[in-house]
Structure 1
Amino acid sequence: MPEPTSFTSRRGLLLGAAAVSSASLLVGCTSNASDDEETAAGGQPAASDSPGKPVTIGFAGPQADHGWLNAINDNAKRRAKKYSDVTLEITEGSNDTAAQIGQIETLINKKVDVLVVLPADGKALTQVGLKAMRAGIPVVNLDRIFNSPQAYRCWIGGDNYGMGLNAGTYIGEKLKGKSDARVVELAGLDNLELTKQRTQGFDDALKNYPNIKKVARQAADFTVESGQAKMAQLLQAQSKFDALWNHDDDQGVGALRAVEQAGRDDFLMVGGAGALSAFQAIKQDNGVLKATVLYPPTMAASAIDLARALGQGKGVGGLAEYEIPSSVTLYSAVVDKDNVDRYMPTGFR
């Protein structure tokens, strides 16, 4: 578990590092005990590292046009290679919903044992999730959720509201001794529900700090270019503020360029997701970036563990239930200079 902090008391494959919440649930999936030795609390055999029934897992995600999405694919591939009893059928990935539906239908026709799907658009892909489930292929829905719980057997993903809540609480604790503190927010795509959830969590956290006022908000596009352009606008409009929360470490690269170009160092910055570049900047501690809030791509490795357990009809060690949970929400830990070394192996490029 992360080291406790005053504020905690979402882009290696250390399941127990970044994917903190799933680690306790999936302990049976990573145990070194044999199937005979490792059982769920209710007596159901739990998945283990020891080879078991062969499982073919179909993996379908969006195009890896973002550092976090690329890390999702890498985590899935590397986790699957860990198991000699797992065969991974991975699609090319597409942001075109029709193309992704076609890829998933191909996997269904191949009769894979389990599907892991990170939909480009959860609403648009709900029907193909339902189609797989009705064909007897359990679906692990990764991150972007389908509209119907009937379209998946298990959902695993990050906590967007929790990201905002923990970012706001971290900033609040840093500024609680300062009167009339001012903060700004560099959000992601405003047409995404996840962006709204991150902002809501941030705003709710700031309600606990009456000395702090959010004075500006800009929405970027989760890209380096948009981060730089929108941050430049914020800096020009706000001559003085005390803290910035940036929703995404990829767009944060551009935001930091804008900060450097403006010659500003009079505020602290908190990022989001967990990029390696952010971890490195936090460790160096010679700029405005002081922390980032995790949205761990290790969730894809955890999804492979869950899919393998489903395919083998196994439970999860440490739980009384015979079945794996219907949902797993990962914790949005805050990484700063005090614990960055622990999380460095999980940083994505």
Structure 2
Amino acid sequence: MTDLNRRRLLAGGAIIGTGGLLAACTGNTPKENAGGAVDAARGDNAKAGKHVTIGFSAPQADHGWVAAISKNAAAEAKQYSDVTFQPVEATNDVTKQISSIQTLIDKKVDALVVLPFDGKALTAVARKAMDAGIPVVNLDRVFDTPLGYRTWIGGDNYGMGQSAGEYVGKRLKDAGVAKPVIGEVAGIDNLALTQDRSRGFKEALAKYGYRVSIRQSAQFTVESGQQVMSNILQARPKLDAVWNHDDDQGVGVLAAVTQAHRSEFFMVGGAGSANAMRLIKADKSVLKCTVTYPPTMAASAVSLARLIAQGRGMSDLTEREVPAYMVLASATVTKDNVDRYLPLGFES
């Protein structure tokens, strides 16, 4: 996600979960706003409207975060009596995902929610849906062109790195550490999301006069996290802080730390898994914080698709249309606020 798109609308923090902004209880009675115009478009978004069918497609649940995406979408759809939810088989095969989306287009669903396995590869079929009059809510992995979606909603990768860097920088500065040794366990390096996360981390640390001392990339898996962290621990006999980009691979990262009997540093996780939050709450490991990349975005995507298909806007906004871009804020979760975020965590 580019910085330009990231800053177009930082509205996601207000719609995390199944309620919030999308179902705000704004009265249905027309009223005058500050400018004197009658506001008749707002209303209670949770109130039933015309019945709509929402198609859903996502990759195979081979990762805790992706599994939570599908669960959140299905759970949200069940909240509405005016929605028929039509998911297709989850797959990491691009050709199969394209074919399944084409099936939904042929069925003339009222809206589509799509988390593409590969945004570039699925752009053409998304455009076919849009050209057929079916609005597409593009979830997280962005299509190549805005012509492929009516609305994009996703996480803030740069913001994740920024939040992690702010936490690490402030904690070390408050402790009076002058030249800290800071490690970074990144994700897949050729992905733009990994590059954005690393850039946010680097730039936030720079505010405190710090920099990353050792950085290695993993593959978003437990096995790769364990191997990479083992390498870092062997290379650096002393660390002050570590940021791991992903809580799923963090299971392996923490296993390596335990095996090496190291505890002189603190660690920040990424994405906001429930197991990571439980460790933070217990406060008995090096993991002291995680920065969120909420899979609840899938629930919000279904809610947005419903409103778009019904021709409604968001009840707490003056505008009559659902926004075109929504970037979810990355929250910093510590033992002080973990109880607030734990119900939204996914299982790694």
Name the TM-score, length of structure 2 as normaliser: 0.91
Unaligned runs of 5+ in 1: 1-17
Partner of 1:262: 260
* Alpha-carbon distance in structure 2 between the residues aligned to 1:157 and 1:199: 18
Tell me the matched-pair count.
329
Q: Deviations over 1:30-83 (max 9, x none)?
A: 13567x348997432445222211010000011111000000000000000011
* Alpha-carbon distance in structure 2 between the residues aligned to 1:102 and 1:109: 11
Structure ranking higher on relative contact order (CA contacts 8 Å, 6+ apart): 1
Partner of 1:5: none
Partner of 1:20: 13
* C-alpha deviation, 1:29, in angstroms: 2.7
Q: Does 2:102 align with 1:105?
A: yes
* Alpha-carbon distance in structure 1 between the residues aligned to 2:158 and 2:295: 17
* Alpha-carbon distance in structure 1 between the residues aligned to 2:249 and 2:148: 32
Alignment of 1:212-227 (within 5 A): 212-227=210-225
Percent same amino acid among aligned pairs?
55
* Alpha-carbon distance in structure 2 between the residues aligned to 1:28 and 1:344: 20
* Alpha-carbon distance in structure 2 between the residues aligned to 1:274 and 1:90: 25
For residue 142 of structure 2, what is the amino acid of its counterpart? I
Alignment of 1:1-349 (within 5 A): 20-22=13-15, 27=20, 29-32=22-25, 36-37=28-29, 42-46=39-43, 48-176=45-173, 177-210=176-209, 212-349=210-347
SS in 1 for 2:54: strand
* Alpha-carbon distance in structure 2 between the residues aligned to 1:40 and 1:121: 46
Unaligned runs of 5+ in 2: 1-10, 34-38
* Alpha-carbon distance in structure 1 between the residues aligned to 2:156 and 2:104: 29
Name the TM-score, length of structure 1 as normaliser: 0.91
Q: Is the 8 A contact 1:59 1:91 kept in 2?
A: yes
SS in 2 for 1:245: strand
* Alpha-carbon distance in structure 2 between the residues aligned to 1:27 and 1:38: 21
Distance 1:51 1:305, change over 3 A: same
Distance 1:170 1:38, change over 3 A: farther
For residue 190 of structure 1, what is the amino acid of its counterpart? D
Distance 1:79 1:194, change over 3 A: same
SS in 2 for 1:56: strand
* Alpha-carbon distance in structure 1 between the residues aligned to 2:280 and 2:43: 39
* Alpha-carbon distance in structure 1 between the residues aligned to 2:226 and 2:136: 38
Q: Is the 8 A contact 1:58 1:112 kept in 2?
A: yes
Q: Deviations over 1:242-278 (max 9, x none)?
A: 0000000000000000000000000000000010110
SS in 1 for 2:214: strand
For residue 165 of structure 1, what is the amino acid of its counterpart? Q
SS in 1 for 2:119: coil
Q: Deviations over 1:313-345 (max 9, x none)?
A: 101112121101001100000000000011111
CA-based RMSD of the aligned residues comes to: 1.9
* Alpha-carbon distance in structure 2 between the residues aligned to 1:19 and 1:258: 34
SS in 1 for 2:215: strand
For residue 125 of structure 1, what is the amino acid of its counterpart? L
* Alpha-carbon distance in structure 2 between the residues aligned to 1:39 and 1:29: 20
Q: Is the 8 A contact 2:45 2:314 kept in 1?
A: no
For residue 308 of structure 1, what is the amino acid of its counterpart? R
* Alpha-carbon distance in structure 2 between the residues aligned to 1:63 and 1:334: 28
Q: Is the 8 A contact 1:63 1:93 kept in 2?
A: yes
* C-alpha deviation, 1:279, in angstroms: 0.4
